[in-house]
Amino acid sequence: MQQRIVGEKKEGGRFVISLDFEINWGVRDQQTLDQYGPNLLGVRQAIPAMLELFQEFDLRVTWATVGLLFFSNKEEMLTHLPYVQPQYSNSTLSPYLALNNVGDDEAVDPYHFGYSLIAQIRDTPGQEIATHTFCHYYCLERGQTAESFRADLEAAVQIANEQNITLRSLVFPRNQYNAQYLAICADLGITSYRGNENSWIYKERNEEQQSLYKRGARLLDAYFNLSGFNCYTLQEIAQQFPYNIPASRFLRPWSGRLQSLERLRLRRILSAMEYAARTNKVFHLWWHPHNFGVNIPQNMAVLRRIAEHYKYLKATYGMESQSMGDLAAELHHHVPAIAS
Ligand SMILES: [Zn+2]
């Protein structure tokens, strides 16, 4: 069946993918390079492999990139830091206090620079470079303010502009979504962000409030249908601006240890995609490139299964792959917001 077009409205659901591209800036306070270094280095193989697959299947993907990755050397990085920096109560959260651990350039320090990878992403059709804030900014942590958030986002917009990139979409680091900062985002040109899954187990929290219980529930939810499909209608998404395009599912890295559960994990994703295609809803899948940094062949095989399922749903129901920026642009032009 061809894609059905009813007036302006396309049916068949949307498949949105967003990736949090951060290398060490996203994990530096939680993992050491000894523990997690192989995953971080593996990003340099995983990203080209993903880009090739995205092209093969015409997948349009949002790359929410940490601003600090845009540089090719430290000198350039240091001249672009925001004029107000977050003063977290927990100072280990601030990357600015650890800049002496950053090497001179991308060749000597592949953990903290991403200039060449950003160039590859830009050169691949359909890929959107978006923002994951400048410094991997934590919007719910004590000590930071709206003023330091604005300065952070301005620094991200500035370096992107210098590289002829317009930032339109945003992913809040650690999914610490702060409603009070949305006006600042809109001010700086952001049209959509990725909200959290609409279930209590995914509710945004700062690090101190994350309970083990909730982490356990999220792990189980990857395999069993605890929280539902987490798919959303265009009308729901259009209710506020910047648009909230909520996550449906985190693509967990392949695990040899949990291999017997791997089929359940994949089935949970494929059935939610199918549900979105049948009911004309949005299915939004996300992960980090470093999740694919080890076991790359196994992770790519899972991604290929997902891409093949998308191809089938596109042929059968007219499902469409869209970046967050594509979806926001379409909503802006075609879907009137429902008064709430
Ligand atoms: Zn992150």
Whether residue 6 has pLDDT greater than 50: no
CA of residue 247 to ligand 1 center, whole Å = 14
Q: Which of 62-71, 112-121, 197-206 has the lowest mean pLDDT?
A: 197-206
Ligand 1 centroid to Cα of residue 21, in Å, is 7
- The predicted-structure confidence for 282-322, as pLDDT tens digits, reads as follows 999 999 999 999 999 999 999 999 999 999 999 999 999 99
* pTM, to two decimals: 0.91
246: confidence class by pLDDT, cuts 50, 70, 90: very high
Q: Which residues are bridge partners to 129 per DSSP?
A: 63
Ligand 1 centroid vs 241 CA: distance in angstroms?
A: 23
Range of weakest confidence among 98-102, 133-137, 303-307 = 98-102
Greater pLDDT, 206 or 169:
169
Most confident of 71-80, 199-208, 265-274: 71-80
Calculate how far, in angstroms, residue 297's C-alpha sits from the geometric centre of ligand 1.
23
* Least confidently predicted of 162-166, 171-175, 201-205: 201-205
Q: What are phi and psi of 232, to 5 degrees?
A: -135, 150
**pLDDT at position 224:** 67
Position 147 scores a pLDDT of 97
What is the predicted pLDDT for the residue at 258? Answer: 73
**What ranges do the domains of the chain cover?**
5-334
Ligand 1 mean position, distance from CA 20 (Å)? 6
CA 251 / ligand 1 centre spacing (Å): 14
Report, as an integer, the average pLDDT of 32-37: 93
Q: Which residues surround ligand 1, an ion (CB under 5 A)?
A: 20, 22, 26, 173
Q: For residue 318, report the distance from its CA to the centre of ligand 1, in Å.
A: 32
Over residues 186-213, the mean pLDDT reads: 75
Distance 39 CA to ligand 1 centre (A): 14
Q: How far is the CA of 174 from the centre of ligand 1 (A)?
A: 5
Residues 5-334: name the CATH superfamily: Glycoside hydrolase/deacetylase (3.20.20.370)
Highest mean pLDDT out of 185-199, 248-262, 288-302: 288-302
- Upper half-sphere CA count for residue 134 (Cβ side, 13 Å): 25
* Ligand 1: centre distance to CA 285 (Å): 15
What does the pLDDT read at residue 67?
A: 98
Grade residue 22 by pLDDT with cuts at 50, 70 and 90.
very high
Q: Is-contact 244 238, C-beta < 8 A? A: no
Q: How many angstroms is it from 325 CA to the middle of ligand 1?
A: 19
